[in-house]
């Protein structure tokens, strides 16, 4: 199965919980998943097999609700190429 990239932005809504704390719960799920990832200011980029990444996305939504979000919106971007793709090939030349 080729390596894909998924951009994930979790947008939790809660009247009582801090938004950043809820996003931290989603990031914990990603960290524990074992997939390669990079957290950026606006989204987290995941790298791996597409089925596995989509499962991680689903788990982040559930974890955010379990942490106290009243509801969650998620923006998901998928880059799939049959021969594979990586975070490094996209942004490596921009790293210091």
Burial level of 96, CB count in 10 A (0-12/13-18/19+)?
exposed
Which residue ranges in the chain fall short of pLDDT 70?
none
Full-prediction pTM beyond 0.85?
Answer: yes
Q: Check the CA dihedral 66-8-42-39 and report its sign.
A: positive
pLDDT tens digits along 24-38 = 999 999 999 999 999
pLDDT of residue 1: 85
Domains delineated in the chain? 3-88 (3.30.70.930)
With contact defined as beta carbons under 8 Å apart, do 44 and 74 qualify? Answer: no
Share of the chain above pLDDT 70, in %: 100
**In the block, residue with structure tokens 């919106």:** 73
Point out which residues pair with 79 in neighbouring strands.
Answer: 5
DSSP symbols for 52-83: HHHHHHHHHHHHHHHTT-SEEEEEEEEE--TT
């Amino acid at each position: 199965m080729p390596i894909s990239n998924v951009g994930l932005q979790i947008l939790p809504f809660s009247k009582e919980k801090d938004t950043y704390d809820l996003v931290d719960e989603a990031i914990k799920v990603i960290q524990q998943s074992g997939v390669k990832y990079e957290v950026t200011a606006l989204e987290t980029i995941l790298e791996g097999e597409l089925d596995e990444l989509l499962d991680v996305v689903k788990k982040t939504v559930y974890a955010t609700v379990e942490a106290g979000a009243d509801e969650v919106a998620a923006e998901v971007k998928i880059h799939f190429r049959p021969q594979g793709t990586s975070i490094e090939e996209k942004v490596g030349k921009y790293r210091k």
